Structure 1
Amino acid sequence: MATDSDADVPVPCLASAPTWRDAGIRMPMPALQDTEGPRLPEGLPPVVDAHVHLFPDRVFDAVWRWFDQYGWPIRYKLHTRQVVSFLLSRGVHRVVALHYAHRPGMARALNAYVAEVAREEPRVLGLATVLPGEPDATAVLEEAFDAGLRGVKIHCHVQCFSPDAPHLHEVYAACAKAGRPLVMHAGREPSSPHYHCDTYALCAAERVERVLKDHPTLKLCVPHLGADEFDAYARLLERYDNLWLDTTMALAGYFPVPIPRRALEVRPERILYGTDFPNIPYAWDRELRTMLGMKWDDAVLAGILGQNALQLYGA
């Protein structure tokens, strides 16, 4: 549990620590031809995939073209209702639906789309999005919350902002006021030189710490366990009670880096299982199989696989 005295000590700058760029990890990366399971293993507690992307068809198609050229080959080119059916039919209990807007004026239509999907299928927990700094950003979010969306997703890499940029404060304030969690891709990785901004210039754990300190009632979730600053985010988890992390792509063994066990174990009640489905280059259950091999006790496993996400999103 964080304390006031802990929170007054900033996370040390890790600028001199080895980075994924130092390790020579470059995009695009290859697909894996690993075997997938037909469904979740029997006897698991309820599994919530807390990081699933849902877009209108044309947006999905554009995202996949970008990934095929600059990221990694997408194994599951499934559109929204196919995505939902695929996961639920394999035993996933709930899915948290994320999306993001890459230009002004998109967010309202995207939010309405996901809200409709969530109304059709109550096992979908839909989040909203907004482009930070666009006109009426607060109103966009308030409308989305009124439509039943349970949180917000924004993406530093795609939307080209720093977490501590001044125009983010209205987004943070709107989420905190409504009690809605914010999922923010604020880690430096996975990165690509084909983003319109340098993710290493924008993103750093120190910048996220400023957000946590300035907005203590904001519920903030950082995906990918904060890749690639795993140790720094583990320290932030120790110090701040308004931070969560999700596992997305960090446990798949896809990137040639060690499993960041300390980030998982320092406060497991703040860890959410997520996959990035369908935008992945390997089997849909690859990360889950890794997690089951870690031999957590039953309560910890139940929390990470689903209960932590249900509590965070009030489901």
Structure 2
Amino acid sequence: MDPSEGPSEQIPACLGATGWLAPGEARGPPLPALEDEEGPRLPEGLPPVVDAHVHLFPDRVFEAIWRWFDRYGWPIRYKLHTPQVLSFLLSRGVHRVVALHYAHKPGMARFLNTYMAEVVRAEPRVLGLATVLPGEAGAEDILAEAFAAGLKGVKLHCHVQCFAPDAPALHEVYAACARAKKPLVLHAGREPSSPHYACDVHALCSAERVERVLQDHPDLRLCIPHLGADEFDAYARLLERHDNLWLDTTMALAGYFPTTPPRRLLEVRPERILYGTDFPNLPYAWDRELRRLLELRLGDEVEAGILGQNALHLFEGC
């Protein structure tokens, strides 16, 4: 991709959904903003907080994503470009940020990965991940270059990139991550879905397909965002069975969607749960997810792990 061309207007957003709905239920207009109160910074006395799900893109890609959200998803409360995203979170007490992006067409990944590597060099508190489009020519080389540039893993998105998690094109990506000992964050849950994606995500995504990946690639460290929404019970069982699986909380605990994950999902293997937000593409306060998490009173040790330690173990091995 020639960066001067900017992104296509058809770039879908990470969560371009109109909510979790029952089968056959009609989807309405974009969801509303909550206009809830936000805190000035993180509460005092917390252990180090790592937001393990923050999106960073070049300006024109961000702006295309926001236009998509405005039309199909929800009002974005924080339309901030990368420097402002990092200043916002870090100045409010967030210790580290795991930064994610994704390529929606061939030829885009190298440009995005170069951008992310530059962000990481400028701000060492950012743990930047690479991306690639599964099946594109030179995918393994693209990832090798990104890892050599200091990126800490890979982000893929089944909904945006239109692939099933167990598709053959993924095997070279999984193998490359396993060889390099780099984790992979894969949006492979069925929700939030949208009729405005270019594929039927319920036909592509399922916990059963993710389990095939875990079985076929036992050396791959795989993180599924949004607690695997909406198959929460199935992902709790996968956590029990597989030592190469992690989940992040992104938007699943905030009370924005009508379905609440069972507490058991956080307690079955709490060392495999990461706190994440989806900042800046939120329709509510930046700290809403964290406040809801703290209200569960999971205990100091579990909270310390979920809020930061588990992410550092996964992405930095420390």
TM-score for both structures, normalised by structure 2: 0.92
CA distance, structure 2, for counterparts of residue 120 and residue 267 of structure 1:
35
The gaps in structure 1 that reach 5 residues or longer are 1-18
Deviation at 1:258, TM superposition (A): 2.3
The gaps in structure 2 that reach 5 residues or longer are 1-19
- Report the AA paired with residue 198 of structure 1: D
Structure 2 residue matching 1:129: 3-state secondary structure: coil
- Report the AA paired with residue 20 of structure 1: L
- Report the AA paired with residue 286 of structure 2: W
Counterpart in the other structure of 1:59: 61
CA distance, structure 2, for counterparts of residue 145 and residue 259 of structure 1:
34
Q: Map Cα deviations across residues 228-263 of structure 1 (whole Å, 9 max, x no partner).
A: 101101100000000000000000000011233121
- Alignment RMSD: 1.1
The one of 224, 227, 230 aligned to 2:226? 224
The one of 174, 177, 194 aligned to 2:176? 174
Q: Map Cα deviations across residues 293-315 of structure 1 (whole Å, 9 max, x no partner).
A: 11111110000000000000115
Counterpart in the other structure of 2:148: 146
Contact 2:50-2:308 within 8 A present in 1 as well? yes
Deviation at 1:30, TM superposition (A): 1.1
- Report the AA paired with residue 21 of structure 1: A
Counterpart in the other structure of 1:44: 46
Counterpart in the other structure of 1:206: 208
Q: Map Cα deviations across residues 134-177 of structure 1 (whole Å, 9 max, x no partner).
A: 00000000000000000000000000000000010000000000
Structure 2 residue matching 1:234: 3-state secondary structure: helix
- Report the AA paired with residue 182 of structure 2: R
Percent identity at matched positions?
A: 78
CA distance, structure 1, for counterparts of residue 234 and residue 37 of structure 2:
33
* 1:1-315 alignment, distance < 5 Å: 20-22=21-23, 24=25, 26=27, 28-314=30-316
Deviation at 1:76, TM superposition (A): 0.3
Alignment length, in residue pairs?
A: 297
- Report the AA paired with residue 68 of structure 2: W
CA distance, structure 2, for counterparts of residue 198 and residue 262 of structure 1:
29
Counterpart in the other structure of 1:15: none
Structure 1 residue matching 2:218: 3-state secondary structure: coil
Contact 2:252-2:260 within 8 A present in 1 as well? no
